[in-house]
Structure formats: structure tokens, C-alpha cells
Amino acid sequence: MASTPSAAEPAHAPSPLLPLDDALERVLAQVAAPLAAEEIAATAADGRVLAEDVISALQIPPDDNSAMDGYAVRSTDCAHAGAELPVTQRIPAGSVGQPLAAGSAARIFTGAPIPPGADAVVMQEQTEALADGARVRIQVPPRAGQSIRKAGEDVERGATVLHRGARLTPASIGLAASVGLACLHVARRPRVALLQTGDELVLPGTVAPAAMKPGTIYNSSRFFLQTLLERLGCTVTDLGIIPDDRQATIAALRQAAEGHDLILSSGGVSVGEEDHVKPAVAQLGHLDLWKIAIKPGKPFAYGHLRRASGDLAHFIGLPGNPVSSFVTFLLLVRPFLLKLQGATDVALRSLPARADFSLPKPGKRREFLRVRHNGKGGLDLFPNQSSGVLTSMHWADGLVDHPADATIAAGDTVRFIPFGGVFS
């Protein structure tokens, strides 16, 4: 005979909230291998994740060269101010000079190879041309090695200049070009199906504000989620707003699973009678519904949808409130998509910063506060931290990662996550 719970022990004890770090570890563990690689033009690779190391087949610079316009000399020939030397050759960039004879100078330009025998370059501002340029007066004695860029000082032959898993930037693309690469191997773009649920949602542009029915709201999540996905290199299929209907939800998810790596939804993963995403995903695959110990963004779902071929597509369900959806995307979906592309650095960066506000009441959950830098070098707090106030995300230039059971006094040092490195 089954035992019954004691009076002191509830029959349905609530599940403990999952720490954010544990939730992130679980999500990242679902990426068994990065997406397949493809070769693309380097000029189209900004933001993409490198799929193989870039190894230089040459050294940069290839030869010792001049760091500026001036005169290549032997430093011992002009050890005192006012030394005059004949100019025996002219070496522009792209050409090669002759060995420099003792007691002479070579007119040289930025980037041109240093002629054999020269050991310094005197900038033209420290010289005076004489006899229509046939001679030069060295007004400031140079030291050996002055204004010479040494061969290989930037890149050595055989060096790995970019590592697999790096997310490419304009600077790294330029570096790849400097070692001769016009094309790069990168992870293919993740294919993401985006959907929202809720009969209360209205697509902007379809109904004028004055004609909005009571109880309806414009669908803002679709717009910022699609933008965030595209900034992460994803190809997005917008499935639109799915009505609060079980069969319609199942049909939409089944279709999305066939052509996509990830199905991302917002809303509909709670346990209400009109929340159909959870049972639909469970029918087509499996779903883990977690309550994460963060604010905003407690409800979060991860699972898989089974394709007709038998393999699986990833599913992530975000909270319906726009700020909760935004924050959980940054904290969990962004690192997941980066790892799916093979990125080795997926963590959000935080910096110490001064709080110019107070938070005297400790919270029970780890909180992500919307803040903005002020003109005094500190951070101001948006006055309304509700999960439904999207204005706070527009106003803010970052988040404060505030631990549970802690307070903030003005002047305290806090952990600041700047948006500058997150949205790109």
C-alpha cells in the first residue's frame, strides 16, 4: 500500500529553482558538434565563426622596411648633427634598392625595403634637402634601428594568426587578407525558425493603434528576436504568430523541425490551459521545463523535436514578457548559438563599475538590472525594472549582474555587462 505524505510534507512540493550557471551548462551540453563548415569570401565573413585555423605561409613584413618617409643611412655616417651625405638612390614602396655605399644616403618612402648596409631611417622632418635633392643634411643624429620595421615582426612564417572557433571581426578579416586569404572556412549559418504564440498578439502594421481590440498587444518580441538572431549569423524563418490551438501548434512545430537547427518560441510554455507549446513539443519529441533562479526570466524550456528522418532539432522556449525574453536570449540562447557554430568564447563579459544607485532590499533570485552610464562615470538604474517594460532595454546600455540575497549601496562596485559586446 502506497504511503501518503505526512501533514508536514506537502503532496506537491515546488521544484527548486535552477541556478543560471547550471541551466547554461545544460544547454551548452546539448551541442554535440558544431555545424558543418563552408567556404565563403572573406569580405562576407564578418561575425561568422572560423571553422579552421588560419596559418600564415609568409612573414609580415617580408623584409625590413621603412616606417616613414625619409632617408636610409648608416648611423655611423651621421653621428653628429649637421652631417651632409650625397643621395645616391631613391626607393619608393614596391621597389628594391641597391646596397648603400658608406658615406651616402638613400631617399626612402614608407613601406619600402631597407637597402643592404643601411641601419636607420631619418624622418624627412629631421633633414634638409640640398642641391635640388642631390645631397641631404641630417639635423638629428639617428640611432641604429631607428624607424625600421623588422621582417616578421608582425607575423612569422608558419604562425597561427587566427584560431578555429574565433568569431570574425573586421580586424581579423583584414589579418587573414594580409597573409593572402581571399576566402575563409566558417561554420554554416544556423537555421532558426521563430514563432510566437498568443491570441492577444497583433502584428504591427496589420491593425492601426486606434483599432486595437481590448486585450490585444503588438508583437514586439518577433522584431527584436529576429534582429538578435541575424546579428548572430543565423538564417531566420519567421513562422509568425501561432494561434492558441493545440493542433495548430503541433502542425507548426512539425513543419519547423524539418528544415531548421533550432526552433525558438516566446510564450506558451507555462502550464495554463491556453499554453499549448509544452504539450505539443512533448508529443513531437521531449521537453524540459526549467524554472531558473533569475529575474527577469524565470520560465525557460529546452527540448528536441523529432524529424521524419529520426534525427532531432533543438527547441528553446522563452518567457512571453518582452524583457524576460530579451534577457534570457542574451544569457542562454546567444551562447548556445555561438557554440553551435563552434565558437570557443561564448561567455558574456562583465566589468567592474560603480553603482550610483541603491538597492536596499535583497532579492531571492539573481537579478539582471537595466542600467546606463552617467556623466560621472557611474551607473544609473532604470526606475521601473518590471519584465514587461521594454523601454528599459532601449534606455539601458548594459545590465548589472546582481547576486541573490544582496543589497547595493550607492558607491558599491557591481558587475556590469555592457551591451556593446553582446548585441554584435
Q: What is the 3-state secondary structure (H, E, C) of the chain?
A: CCCCCCCCCCCCCCCCCECHHHHHHHHHHCCCCCCCEEEEEHHHCCCCEECCCEECCCCECCCCEECCCEEEECHHHHCCCCEEEEEEEEECCCCCCCCCCCCCEEEECCCCECCCCCCEEEEHHHEEEEHHHCEEEECCCCCCCCCEECCCCCECCCCEEECCCCECCHHHHHHHHHCCCCEEEEECCCEEEEEEECCCEECCCCCCHHHCCCCCEECCHHHHHHHHHHHCCCEEEEEEEECCCHHHHHHHHHHHHHHCCEEEEECCCCCCCCCCHHHHHHHHEEEEEEEECEECCCEEEEEEEECCCCCEEEEEEECCCHHHHHHHHHHHHHHHHHHHCCCCCCCCCCEEEEECCCECCCCCCEEEEEEEECCCCEEEECCCCCCCCCHHHHHCCEEEEECCCCCECCCCEEEEEEHHHCCC
| Confidence label for 9 from pLDDT (cuts 50, 70 and 90) | very low
Higher-scoring residue by pLDDT: 160, 205: 160
- Across all residues in the chain, what is the average pLDDT? 92
Segment 169-187 shows an average pLDDT of: 97
Predicted local confidence at residue 16, as pLDDT = 84
Segment 325-335 shows an average pLDDT of: 96
Which amino acid, residue 259?
Answer: G
Mind listing the domains of the chain with CATH numbers?
A: 20-34+189-340 (3.40.980.10), 37-60+154-187 (3.90.105.10), 65-149 (2.170.190.11), 351-421 (2.40.340.10)
Q: What is the pLDDT of residues 150-161, one digit of tens each?
A: 999 999 999 999
Higher-scoring residue by pLDDT: 213, 422: 213
Residue 289 has pLDDT above 90, yes or no: no
% the chain with pLDDT above 90 = 80
| Confidence label for 217 from pLDDT (cuts 50, 70 and 90) | confident
Segment 370-388 shows an average pLDDT of: 96
383 vs 360: CA distance, rounded Å: 14
Segment 162-166 shows an average pLDDT of: 98
| Confidence label for 354 from pLDDT (cuts 50, 70 and 90) | very high
Residue 10 has pLDDT above 70, yes or no: no
Bridge partners (DSSP) listed for residue 285: 305
| Residue with the three cell numbers 521545463 | 289
Q: What is the pLDDT of residues 305-325, one digit of tens each?
A: 999 999 999 999 998 889 999
Residue 424 has pLDDT above 80, yes or no: no
Cβ neighbours of residue 415 under 8 Å, at least 6 residues apart? 350, 351, 352, 353, 400, 401, 402
Predicted local confidence at residue 244, as pLDDT = 78
Higher-scoring residue by pLDDT: 7, 333: 333
| Residue with the three cell numbers 542600467 | 371
- C-alpha grid cell, residue 402: 546582481
Predicted local confidence at residue 7, as pLDDT = 46
Q: What does each C-alpha distance from 25 to 254, 347, 379, 399 come to in angstroms?
A: 27, 11, 30, 21
| Confidence label for 241 from pLDDT (cuts 50, 70 and 90) | confident
% the chain with pLDDT above 70 = 95
* Residue 385 burial by Cβ neighbours in a 10 Å radius (0-12, 13-18, 19+): middle
| Confidence label for 12 from pLDDT (cuts 50, 70 and 90) | low
How do strand 191-197 and strand 235-242 relate by DSSP bridges?
parallel
Say what the alpha-carbon torsion angle 42, 44, 50, 56 is, to the nearest 10 degrees.
Answer: 10
Tell me which of 9-18, 191-200, 257-266, 342-351 is least confident.
9-18
| Confidence label for 1 from pLDDT (cuts 50, 70 and 90) | very low
Residue 2 has pLDDT above 50, yes or no: no
Q: What does each C-alpha distance from 35 to 42, 225, 337 come to in angstroms?
A: 19, 21, 10
Higher-scoring residue by pLDDT: 196, 160: 160
| Confidence label for 13 from pLDDT (cuts 50, 70 and 90) | low
